[in-house]
Amino acid sequence: MSGAAPPAKLLEQHVLDELIMGTNSSSIVSKRSVENLYYPNEPHYFRYFVKKYQRRAPLINRGYWLRLKAIDVTVQHFLEKHEARKKKLIINLGCGSDVLPWQSHARHAALCDGVMFVDIDYPDLMRKKRSIVQNTPQLREILGQDFIVSEAEESHFILRSERYCQIGCDLRELGKLRAILEELTPLSECPVLFVAEVSITYMDTQSADALIQWASSIGNSEFCLLEQLLPHGPDHPFARTMLNHFDKLNTPPKSVRQYPTLSRQIDRFTSRGFQEAKIWDLWQVWSSEDFVSGAERASLDEIEPFDEWEEFVMFGRHYFIIHASTSSKYKKESLQRRNDSVRQSINTQVSVVKTVQEPKRRFGDAFAPEIRFEPCGEEVDPTKQLSLFGAKPIEFGSYTLVCGGVGERQESQGQTIVAIDIDSQDRCNVSELCWTNNEGITPLMIGSSVMRVDDNIMVFGGGATCFSMGTYWQGGASTISIHNKPTHWKHSKPIAEGLTRPQFMGSQRFVSGTSRSQHQGSKEVDATITTVARTRLETPQQLRDILEAAVPVIIAKTDIGDCVWKWTSSYMIDRVGHDTQVVIHECQQDSEKMDFNSKNFRYVTESFENVIRRAEAGHRVYLRALSREKPMDRPANIKDDFPGIASDFHLPNQMDSIQNGIFSSVLRVSGRVNMWLHYDVMANMYAQVVGSKRMVLFPPSDVGHLAFAPGASSSSLDVFSELRSSRMNGTHPHEAMLEPGDILYLPPLWLHAATTAAIPSIAVNVFFRNLNSGYAAGRDVYGNRDLAAYEKGRLDVGRIGKSFQKFPMETRRFYLNRLAGELELAADGV
């Protein structure tokens, strides 16, 4: 008889697989929300997998930001650790629509040489992903020139190239999976990082454990797993809400029941072939400088208001990330941090607490249940014990009880009570009151009101939004009855005695979405607009003088060919071709301002005739021509891309000296749009042919005043609306108005934005190298990659910053500011 599974069993498994694939849709929409809001200065890739943008609530945005950050830092550590290795594999298990390969290339380009990214998921899901990648130029770029697309149903390789591969395979079929991966490269000969972000938990636990065991057997392998936790069991309000949510979706996380705590997850990996494992819950990730710097945490508050700290802490405590390795080369201090992370501070016990949903009278028999307090387990740090947010203090005789709240300790999840006693000598004694059994539901003292009634503590209401899983609401009232209250809390565990009186340090500032940069510069000198000089170019020496001065100049009414009078709309359409397809930017919103960071436009493929007619009519369209043959690999060249009109344009003879350094020549067609503020690394000549263009330019020294994030070459600042406002204080704007026949010389790194003054605007932009060397290595289709020294310097800065994270903040700031001063001296050539 055949060993195949019965049809009913196969159907059941197919239905489950479909449900699991469905979990991808919700998470990708949330990640798209994060991408749009929190990564304005990076290319946006999730947008291609989400049909309709939905802005999520701040709590969800911040939670997904933290998940993405944890994965990104782990991947970066892997790349840095194996930077010297020629070949590396990063395998995303159950990848769904995640964009890890593209984000890694965008953020860590210098580290991605020799890296192959492999996406693995259900075949149907991978085919959908392949279709999107193939039809999206920004995603297709990673494939390079040579890639293989397999349409055969029996082939597991959905898409294959040198840097990126898609595999459709069931992760339970480990023998088949290994054979497929061995076709890519011998697994034992290169380091491999497996990444699984809330994916293998939907498998049955036995299969997930087998996958982890198998991953440890292939040689030099590492495993990054991000999943759910149940640190206080399945009955904690957050945990219960989370589990109910997934149960309703028919996709319960399975591993969390068997491995509910950090220590159990450590054992899970170290008992299955991994030599070492580091683990953090996501609140520890948020609090760790190894993952998120203080500056990053502060910067998030500038993006959108946030006041859900209790819920955010609970979310972080119920998710973890583990980084396991078959090698035991972790540093000693890293292992110590890992041990600190999994150590249980207190072995608490919970006793009966009765919740009354609809009490018949205000105080009475309905609140009779009693609670006795017994000694807790081991001693804990009193500073951590009192590090609470959202707690409710009440006076209880000579004691102050601090009820609920969330805090630095993993146990502080809204269900603890701490007693503080100030003695006659002004010394502070701190004790935790511990439940004696677990026969009832402990009230959640978050968002609740707490008061004393005789020897009872009454908790009214309370609840929390449990991330994206729903809301927990604690209706009615609960009573915590202190039946045998002694004078000095004999049935409590002393945490510390003789401490100095605690001091109120103030409440956290509520931060609005207004950027600090909007309030800076009030003491700066008012900006004065300088008109860009106009000149005639008569000799080659004049051009050399212009280039040496490195200041924008309009070379007026110069000879750029017959294009000035020939390039009518009809002529260009006839010569280029009515149906020739080009990719344009089309503003999505009712605004002329294009913003590269927020991506308030979309890429649309249209016929050249439609583009010209729409620009002529004043539509919000913009064409920045790409190479016709190889748009992802080759810079634009008007001679190759538009041969029918190329001969009509040329640079004046006096510019022959730059001919050998020309990098690209780009045809630009604009309707009524504003081009975002940005800078170009290469020098360029902007030749206006039809219509007119207004440009505002700033010298490179103004970059710190114009909202350019570190590492970004584009800003969201609308200089045209802000030009005469106090926002421009401290800057040195230059203004240029270009008419047909004018050429604007744009020196490298001059920040500039453009708007169409007379439609349509048609121009040819010629970029040329003004340096003999130093440009970014590898492909640079747009000519806008920063210099190689800067890209390397950013990696060095990251390493330097990380090396100081172990020191106190004041020490860290002291030395890093001194290093910054040395860099300033180096910038001045000292």
For 727-739, how does the pLDDT look when each residue is reduced to its tens digit (9 = 90+)? 888 899 999 999 9
- 516 falls within a domain: no
Regarding whether 422 and 309 lie in a shared domain, the answer is no
> Helices 174-184 and 205-215 sit at what angle, rounded to 10 degrees?
30
Q: What is the average per-residue pLDDT within 446-471?
A: 88
Give the CA distances from residue 465 to residues 138, 230, 312, in Å, rounded to whole numbers and listed in that order. 37, 17, 9
For residue 17, pLDDT beyond 70: no
Per-residue pLDDT, 374: 42
Q: Are 691 and 756 in contact (CB under 8 A)?
A: yes
Average pLDDT of the chain to the nearest whole number = 83
Predicted local confidence at residue 512, as pLDDT: 36
Sign of the Cα torsion 309, 314, 319, 321 reads: positive
Whether residue 176 is found in the same domain as residue 143: yes
CA-CA distances (angstroms) from residue 717 to 17, 302, 374, 723?
46, 15, 60, 10
Which of 277, 309, 342 is where one domain is finished?
342
Residues 172 and 229 in one domain: yes
pLDDT for the residue numbered 550: 92
Whose CA is closest to 323, among 376, 356, 361, 285? 285
- Assess if residue 98 is contained within a domain: yes
Among the residue ranges 19-28, 243-252, 360-369, the one predicted with the least confidence is 360-369
Q: How confident is the model at residue 482 (pLDDT cuts 50, 70, 90)?
A: low
- Local structure of 728: helix, strand or coil: helix
Contact 192, 221 (CB under 8 A): yes
pTM check: above 0.75 = no
- Residue 149, judged by CB atoms within 10 A of its CB (0-12, 13-18, 19+), counts as middle
CA angle 823, 827, 830 (to 5 degrees): 90
Do both 332 and 359 map to the same domain? no
Distance of CA 806 to the CA centre of its chain: 24
> Considering the chain, what percentage of its residues have pLDDT values greater than 90?
53
pLDDT digit string, tens, across residues 199-252: 999 999 999 999 999 999 998 999 999 999 999 999 999 999 999 999 988 889
pLDDT of residue 348: 27
| Residue 424 exposure: Cα atoms within 13 Å on the Cβ side | 0
Residue 272 tokens read as: 């299955």
Same domain, 63 and 11: yes
Work out the average pLDDT over 427-447. 73
Last residue of a domain, one of 500, 517, 552: 500
C-alpha torsion 821→823→827→828, nearest 10? 40
Q: Residue 136: CB partners within 8 Å, gap ≥ 6?
A: 48
Residues 225 and 359 in one domain: no
Per-residue pLDDT tens over the stretch 101-112: 999 999 999 899
In a domain, 144, yes or no: yes
Nearest to 742 by CA among 603, 556, 615, 606: 556
Total domains in the chain come to 4
Output the pLDDT for position 33: 94
Give the per-residue pLDDT at 367: 35
pLDDT level of residue 2 (50, 70, 90 thresholds): very low
Which domain CATH number covers 300? 3.40.50.150
Q: Which two tokens stand for residue 538?
A: 């008569």
Give the tens place of pLDDT for each residue, 160-210: 999 999 999 999 999 999 999 999 999 988 999 999 999 999 999 999 999
CA distances from 386 to 46, 429, 502 (A): 41, 12, 9
Q: Cα–Cα distance between 489 and 50 in angstroms, integer?
A: 57
Is 782 inside any structural domain? no
Residues 269 and 377 placed together within one structural domain of the fold: no
**pLDDT for the residue 599:** 81
| Residue the block writes with tokens 């009490």 | 359
- Is it the case that residue 559 has pLDDT exceeding 90? yes
Domain annotation covers residue 256? yes
pLDDT of the residue at 303: 87
Q: Which residues contact 41 (CB under 8 A, 6 or more apart)?
A: 597, 708, 709, 711, 712, 714
- Mapped onto helix, strand or coil, the DSSP state of residue 630 is coil
Torsion of CA 161, 166, 168, 169, to 10 degrees: 90
CATH code where residue 645 lies? 2.60.120.650
- Show Cβ contacts of residue 197 under 8 Å, excluding neighbours closer than 6 positions: 67, 71, 94, 98, 226
Percentage of residues in the chain having pLDDT higher than 70: 83
pLDDT at position 709 is 84
Burial category of 628 from C-beta neighbours within 10 Å (exposed 0-12, middle 13-18, buried 19 and up): middle
Res. 342: pLDDT tops 70: no
CA distances from 749 to 173, 292, 500, 704, 723 (A): 53, 30, 57, 13, 20
Q: Are 753 and 643 in the same domain?
A: yes
Helical packing angle, 237-248 and 309-317, nearest 10°: 70
Indicate whether 423 and 565 sit together in one domain: no
Mean pLDDT of 397-420: 85
Flag whether 520 is in a domain. Answer: no
Average pLDDT of span 387-403: 86
**Alpha helix locations (H) across 360-494?**
382-385
Taking the alpha carbons at both ends of the chain, their separation in whole angstroms is 84
The helix (run of H) or strand (run of E) holding residue 617 is none
Pick from 69-78, 381-390, 789-798: least confident = 381-390
Residue 586 near residue 667, CB atoms below 8 Å: no
- Residue with token string 């911040």: 62
Task: Give the largest Cα separation in the chain, rounded.
Answer: 102
Res. 408: pLDDT tops 80: yes
Please tell me the predicted confidence (pLDDT) of residue 483: 54
Residue 320 Rama label (left phi>0; alpha psi -120 to 50; beta): beta
Range of the domain at 427: 354-500
Closest CA to 666 of 642, 636, 691, 629: 636
pLDDT digits (tens, 9 = 90+) for 625-678: 998 888 877 899 999 999 999 999 999 999 999 998 999 999 999 999 999 999
Pick from 335-344, 474-483, 581-590, 739-748 the range whose average pLDDT is largest: 739-748
From 29, 69, 116, 83, select the one nearest 321 (Cα to Cα): 69
pLDDT tens, residue by residue, 371-385: 444 434 444 556 677
What is the pLDDT averaged over residues 303-327?
Answer: 93
Distance between CA atoms of 8 and 780, rounded to whole angstroms? 54
Return the pLDDT at 821. Answer: 87
State the CB neighbour count (10 A cutoff) for residue 47: 17
More confident residue, 386 or 133: 133
Instruction: Tell which of 448, 482, 500 closes a domain.
Output: 500
pLDDT of residue 485: 55
Binned at pLDDT 50, 70 and 90, residue 3 comes out as very low
Quick one: pLDDT at residue 15? 44
| Residue-wise DSSP of 156-218 | SEEEEESSEEEEE--TT-HHHHHHHHHHHS-GGGS-EEEEEES-GGGS-HHHHHHHHHHHTTS
Determine if residue 133 is left, alpha or beta; phi over 0 gives left, psi from -120 to 50 gives alpha, anything else beta.
alpha
pLDDT at 53 over 50: yes
- For residue 424, the model assigns a pLDDT of 67
What b/e sequence results for 160-198 when a residue is b if at least 16 CB atoms lie within 10 Å of its CB, and e otherwise?
Answer: bbebbbbbbbbbbebeebeebbeebeebeebbbbbbbbb
Measure the CA–CA gap between 824 and 799, rounded to whole angstroms.
Answer: 19
User: Do the bridges between strand 115-121 and strand 164-168 make them parallel or antiparallel, or are there none, so unpaired?
Assistant: parallel
Residue 510 included in any domain: no
pLDDT value, residue 346: 28
Within this chain, do residues 359 and 414 fall inside the same structural domain, yes or no? yes
pLDDT, residue 14, reads 47
Question: What tokens were used for 804?
Answer: 């100081």
How is residue 765 annotated by DSSP? E
Q: How confident is the model at residue 547 (pLDDT cuts 50, 70, 90)?
A: very high
Higher pLDDT, 345 or 536: 536
Statement to judge: residues 609 and 667 lie in one domain = yes
Which residues is 738 bridged to in the sheet? 693
Query: What is the spatial distance between Cα 430 and Cα 702, in angstroms, rounded to a whole number?
Result: 54
Nearest Cα neighbor of 291 from 38, 74, 58, 39 is 74
Q: Are residues 657 and 706 in the same domain?
A: yes
**Which residue did the predictor score with more confidence, 372 or 447?**
447
Q: Is residue 630, in this structure, part of any structural domain at all? A: yes
Of 18 and 151, the one with more pLDDT: 151
